[in-house]
Structure 1
Amino acid sequence: MADDVRELLLSTTADADPSTPLSAPDLRLLIDRLRLRSDPASGAHEERGGMRAVCSGGREGGGQMIDALDYGMAKVADSMMKHVLVPAISNMSVVVNVEVLEEGGSEHSVSVLSIVASEEKAVPNEASKLVEFQDVVRSTAEFENMLRSMMFSSPDRKDGRLTQFVDDVEVHFAVRKRNEIMVKARYILVQYDYDNPLESGNQDDSVVDLLFRPEKCFISKSALQLMKLVHGALKLLLSTKQDACLSSARVAKEFCYAARDVLLLYKAIVPVQLEKQLDSISQVAAIVHNDCYHLSQEVLGLAFQYRPDFPCDVQKQVVFVDLAPIFTQMANGVLRRQIHIAMNTISEAIDGADGFQNTHQPQHYESAKFSIEQVVFILEKIRIMWESILPRSTYRKSMSRILGSVFSRITRDMLLIDDMAAEETLQLQGLIHLALENLSSLFLSLVENDDENEKFLDHDTWIQLDKSVPSLKKFRKLAELLDMSLKSITAAWESGELVSCGFTSSEVQSFIKAIFADSPLRKECLGWILRTPA
């Protein structure tokens, strides 16, 4: 066979020089001569069949694929003559593997030529064009049959790699779409400006209803667009079924995995990208909390919404509910971290008051006042950042927890003062009133009111606040105790009023000892308090 190839090579090339590179037409002519020499009787018939196979590939949607298969014939001849360089077809996208099955002496007898096509450009970009691709499938089958008849391919039809490729066009389409979706998702997450979420586009689109709670919350445009990608990926399966009338289990899994991967990409990118903002009190952290909480609720409904569209044998594998706890934990973790940072920051501000001792001295009073002003400033800053972002119930619960720790800390520090001058009690009372007055806007944001335009701190409002923040009631009562007589304090204890505010027997006794000088009346009152059960 090697001698035949050399003879044909010399007769084909213009200058009869075997080292001269062949042009594409020369290679085509060489293939035709090889085919005619192997079977002269059927050569003409196969040539016409081959031309029909090539011509049929010119149909819409498959031209590129058929052109690649046509040039594959030239590539086969080039592989048979490895010592010849063919620049004319060196850039083709068809990969040729020559498998040597028999070896004899110093020469190899090529018995099988497997052509592996990787014409990804021919795969449709839209599900509606998958039907048109069936022309390419038929043409490819004809071409591969021709290769078998010419002994250029294995006679075993299971080795038909070209046919396998085009038969799996649905899978190639799904894989391509999955990759495109992931690229879009990553771009959305990386490019979104979390530092200015309220200034990017229409804010109304970012206010969404929670699926399982009668509330609204503000989410980032990135989370909104990610959910659109998720729904789009799952709707692609329905589109494939309707337009192509085909749907395999593997295709369904690709679309399902694409939707899951988009959601998991948020988990992988956002916490790392926004690590700095999440480690400080920020509006960005509140938005990330909302994103995670929104996603945790949305994924619960995906399976119910799209599972009927999946093939029966994979419907049980269409699972998203396992992602809900992941995003719920992320949301809770972000919120807990924010509350912890807020409490620590406020605690440091209160430390500057040095236990609120000696406030009758100007220097100590100014330090205590500055500390209270810092606390108010931090709380107001948190209110402004969270009130318009977090879900209503989440905001109230979180802010009530922070306020509870603040009032508990200040009340405890003031009750630990072991000796108070008369002027000092007035200064402490003034500091308490200063805090309450400056936090009025925050208090109003924590209560329900039918008329949002007529909010004010009336008796009913304070009752609601006392229920939400129990330590606030004790804090307010402490301001009254600082201006009450010894008998009034004793009577308040006996009536149970102080107990209902959260005071203990030891706290009341220590408070009386710190304010009032030792006297028979003080001993009598302390005895009454000691004997009266809480």
Structure 2
Amino acid sequence: MAAQAGSLVAAVLAHSGRLDKEHLGARVGRLSRRVEELKGEVCTMINKKYSEFLPSMQSAEDLVAQVERLSNNIDLLKAGIENEVQRDLNVAVAEFTELKQQLERDTLVLSVLRKLQEFDTTIKECNSALQEKQYVAAAQQLEKARSSLRSLESRRGFELKILKALGTELTVQTQNMIYHLGEEWQKLIVWKLPPSKGSSSLEAVVLSELHLHTVPPQDEDAAVPPVAAVLQALAVLGELHSKLKDFGRLLLQYILKPLISHPSLEPVPEEQPDVFILRFRSQELALDESSPMEVFEKIKLVFEVLHRYLLSVPLEQPGEGRVTLAELLGELIWEELSDCLIHNCLVNSIPTNSSKLDQYKEVIESTEEFEKALKKMQFLKEDTTALLKYACNVDSHFANKKCQDVIMAARNLMTSEIHNTVKITPDSSIALPELPDPGSGDHVKLPRACSLVPNGTVSVGSESRLSPLTLCLPCCRISSSVQQLVELAYHTLLEATASTDLCCVQLFDCVRNIFQLFYEVVPTYHRENLQKLPQLAAIHHNNCMYIAHHLLTLGHQFRYRSTSVLSNGAATFVDLVPAFRRLGMECFLAQMRVQKGEILERLSSARNFSNMDDEENYCAANKAIKQVLHQLRRLGMVWQDVLPVNVYCKAMGALLNTALAEIVTRIAALEDISAEDADRLYSLCRIMVEEGPQVFTPLLEEDKNKKYQEEVPVYVQKWMTFKELMIILQANLQEIVDQWADGKGPLAEEFSAAEVKSLIRALFQNTERRAAALAKIK
């Protein structure tokens, strides 16, 4: 067949002058038919081998040789035809073009056949390399076969059945090789994990071991493939990433994270002739927390041994060039490892006191050394400094941690019980930090409430001095939690003035946040108790006034520490003072409204104080009066020694006044009061006058309360009105007229003319004397 093709080409090239188109066409036709036959033979052979798995009828090598010879003949014929066409283009453009296209089609078919031959060869070589454990060569041949198949798939009009068979063969070979490489990987890297997988307890972690069979064998005849070959073959097949990802996950879970979380854990490396083992040991006497320096040393030790026996292997990565295994592993696990180091190690080492910030430089240096060591092993790239950035930003982290601790402490104080109280007196001392005297620059202990008066008194001229108590809170009881809250604010501000400017501002804002949090949280959290329990309402009132008192001067006290950004005077809390005063007053006034409502409700059962000669009516009114006095006594007991004296007296005075005003209004509205009614009404009023002042007991010392009981008219607006009403109930017409004294007497100061006339009409019968008396009331 080859000889025939050669003579055909020779005859074509030897022809001179005009070509015999019919003769040439016949020869090209025969050549095309032969190509088709050859195509059929190759396809049948491939089909039989890869699809039908039948023994081939003719040796593939002979077929390949024939394809080569035929291909060469076609190249010669193609060149000859092109030369003839160039010489005689005007004569036979159409005929020669058709012949050329026919030849090009034949060439395309032959190129496909060549690719089929390449695929077959690479699969054979891959199998033989795999049998000899030459994994890199086998993987490269497999990738060549894949490339040949991709090239075939890009041809249009080719037999789909063959391509499908080739694709199946390639998949089978690939999976076979991945399986073999996986087996080798498992032999090289062996994990011995605790029975309960996923457990992070110390007992379970101590049982974990990593065995690396990557130590070069001492017996040179041992058929252990070098670790580089297995890794490079996995890289060629694109399987290295998933293997490394699994390895990194186990490394984090069973080695690196436990070393960070458990201070007592220590890595114990052990090298044997053909294996390297990494296991753990637990120290019995260990601290609750490891210092970052200790943790870094342990982690560094693990990476050093891994680098020596595994991670230093260089690889050729497609598209990335030459990289080490350490770089690839670093990209996979460094982010999670650095997060764990930050949150479980560095966060705990941030100092909670600014005086210890200088000691933290050791941690920063240790972090820098740790990162340098990892970069030297190529585990880290040069630009990776997340860990170091965190460590260097210690001022901000200190402020954040301090603020978080302060807010948590404040929140716990705000949600604690209000009724645990402490007594505040002008001369009581508070555990406040030492602050400078604005005048002398000396440091003095400030009294509890006397914030503006550093030396106890303030000079107001050459001859006189203000009392030391001028700017002090009056004696009262506040919640111990609120006292601790104010102390917390002072100490936090003192910490702020000793810190950097950034930290100082953060801590100052934190103190403001404490008070704003109190304003929002306490009334809501304790709402039910503040509404129901008068004592808690009073304590809350005092708490708010105590905080407002300190807020007046809290910012100014720290202004004189000149190193601080607070010294410019912008740091103030004065703007919060009105809100806190309002908060305390609104709560107490709401309780007062509740108590007033209860007093009026009790008096409403007195049947308007009418027809007192009826025993049942008298008993109802008497009971109402007694209930009101009992309510006032009970309130006096729960507010006694809690409210400041002046607030207590005003509050009790307002409530007693409510009762007296209601009684006066009801009696003055009566249209008919008999003599017996008047006597009984007088006796009821006398109970109020005798027992009412007894509710004024703001102090525990009984004898000291007498002064406040004598000053009842000062606090009870209707006291004299009530007394004048009692006089009217017992007086005759002339006495009433004398009390009026032409509108200038004591009666005229308490009642209007219309009210007095109404009472006279109710008390006395219509006589000339009554008419005369009424005429004088004007």
| TM-score where L is the length of structure 2 | 0.52
Residue in 2 that maps onto 1:357: 610
Are the structure 2 counterparts of residues 519 and 76 from structure 1 closer, same or farther at C-alpha, using a change threshold of 3 Å? farther
Residue in 1 that maps onto 2:584: 331
Residue in 2 that maps onto 1:217: 476
Distance 1:502 1:428 in 2: 19
Residue in 1 that maps onto 2:772: 524
Q: Which moved more, 1:493-502 or 1:164-173?
A: 493-502
Distance 2:682 2:361 in 1: 86
Letter in 2 for 1:229: L
1:478 aligned to 2:730?
no
Residue in 1 that maps onto 2:357: 130
Residue in 2 that maps onto 1:168: 393
Are the structure 2 counterparts of residues 278 and 123 from structure 1 closer, same or farther at C-alpha, using a change threshold of 3 Å? closer
Residue in 2 that maps onto 1:390: 643
1:418 aligned to 2:668?
no
Are the structure 2 counterparts of residues 262 and 214 from structure 1 closer, same or farther at C-alpha, using a change threshold of 3 Å? closer
Residue in 2 that maps onto 1:505: 753
Cα deviation for residue 324 of structure 1 reads 2.0
Q: 2:319 aligns with which of 97, 104, 120?
A: 104
Cα deviation for residue 355 of structure 1 reads 0.9
Are the structure 2 counterparts of residues 313 and 227 from structure 1 closer, same or farther at C-alpha, using a change threshold of 3 Å? closer
Are the structure 2 counterparts of residues 134 and 105 from structure 1 closer, same or farther at C-alpha, using a change threshold of 3 Å? closer
Letter in 2 for 1:505: A
Cα deviation for residue 210 of structure 1 reads 7.1
Distance 1:298 1:313 in 2: 17
RMSD: 4.2
1:235 aligned to 2:494?
yes
Residue in 2 that maps onto 1:492: 739
Residue in 1 that maps onto 2:703: 453
Residue in 2 that maps onto 1:64: 294
Residue in 1 that maps onto 2:537: 285
Cα deviation for residue 391 of structure 1 reads 1.2
Letter in 1 for 2:685: I
Identity, % of aligned pairs? 22
Are the structure 2 counterparts of residues 105 and 344 from structure 1 closer, same or farther at C-alpha, using a change threshold of 3 Å? same
The 8 Å contact of residues 558 and 566 in structure 2, kept in 1 or not, is answered as no
Cα deviation for residue 378 of structure 1 reads 0.9
Residue in 1 that maps onto 2:278: none
Distance 2:617 2:760 in 1: 23
Residue in 2 that maps onto 1:37: none
Letter in 1 for 2:386: R
Letter in 1 for 2:187: D
Q: Which moved more, 1:161-170 or 1:141-150?
A: 141-150
Deviations 1:443-488 (A, max 9, x none): 4759xxxx9737658xx975x4323322111001111111111122
The 8 Å contact of residues 190 and 211 in structure 2, kept in 1 or not, is answered as no
1:255 aligned to 2:507?
yes
Deviations 1:389-410 (A, max 9, x none): 1112211222222222221111
Distance 1:18 1:27 in 2: 5
Which SS does the other structure have where 2:600 is aligned? helix
Cα deviation for residue 364 of structure 1 reads 0.6
Deviations 1:293-323 (A, max 9, x none): 1111112221112244463389566332233
1:298 aligned to 2:468?
no
Letter in 1 for 2:730: D
The 8 Å contact of residues 560 and 567 in structure 2, kept in 1 or not, is answered as no
Are the structure 2 counterparts of residues 136 and 276 from structure 1 closer, same or farther at C-alpha, using a change threshold of 3 Å? closer
Alignment gaps of 5+ in structure 2? 1-134, 140-179, 193-208, 217-226, 229-289, 312-316, 431-446, 452-470
Are the structure 2 counterparts of residues 184 and 467 from structure 1 closer, same or farther at C-alpha, using a change threshold of 3 Å? closer
The 8 Å contact of residues 220 and 291 in structure 1, kept in 2 or not, is answered as yes
Distance 2:299 2:715 in 1: 75
The 8 Å contact of residues 286 and 386 in structure 1, kept in 2 or not, is answered as yes
1:182 aligned to 2:397?
no
The 8 Å contact of residues 530 and 536 in structure 2, kept in 1 or not, is answered as yes
Which SS does the other structure have where 2:547 is aligned? helix
Letter in 1 for 2:745: E
Where relative contact order (Cα < 8 A, 6+ residues apart) is larger, the structure is: 1
Distance 2:513 2:775 in 1: 70
Deviations 1:473-516 (A, max 9, x none): 10011111111111221222115224554201110010010011
Q: 2:600 aligns with which of 331, 347, 350?
A: 347
Are the structure 2 counterparts of residues 235 and 71 from structure 1 closer, same or farther at C-alpha, using a change threshold of 3 Å? farther
Q: Which moved more, 1:375-384 or 1:414-423?
A: 375-384
The 8 Å contact of residues 713 and 720 in structure 2, kept in 1 or not, is answered as yes
Q: Which protein shows a greater Rg?
A: 2
The 8 Å contact of residues 249 and 311 in structure 1, kept in 2 or not, is answered as yes
Cα deviation for residue 432 of structure 1 reads 0.6
Which SS does the other structure have where 2:476 is aligned? strand
Map 1:400-439 → 2, pairs under 5 A:
400-439=653-692
Distance 2:214 2:541 in 1: 65
Cα deviation for residue 377 of structure 1 reads 0.6
Distance 2:704 2:491 in 1: 45
Distance 2:318 2:518 in 1: 56
The 8 Å contact of residues 351 and 398 in structure 2, kept in 1 or not, is answered as yes
Residue in 2 that maps onto 1:17: 187
Are the structure 2 counterparts of residues 417 and 313 from structure 1 closer, same or farther at C-alpha, using a change threshold of 3 Å? closer
The 8 Å contact of residues 296 and 327 in structure 1, kept in 2 or not, is answered as yes
Which SS does the other structure have where 2:415 is aligned? helix
The 8 Å contact of residues 191 and 211 in structure 2, kept in 1 or not, is answered as no
Letter in 1 for 2:771: K
The 8 Å contact of residues 556 and 572 in structure 2, kept in 1 or not, is answered as no
Which SS does the other structure have where 1:353 is aligned? helix
The 8 Å contact of residues 188 and 212 in structure 2, kept in 1 or not, is answered as no
1:375 aligned to 2:628?
yes
Which SS does the other structure have where 2:552 is aligned? helix
Which SS does the other structure have where 1:439 is aligned? helix
Cα deviation for residue 284 of structure 1 reads 1.4
1:273 aligned to 2:525?
yes
Are the structure 2 counterparts of residues 479 and 325 from structure 1 closer, same or farther at C-alpha, using a change threshold of 3 Å? same
How many residues get paired? 453
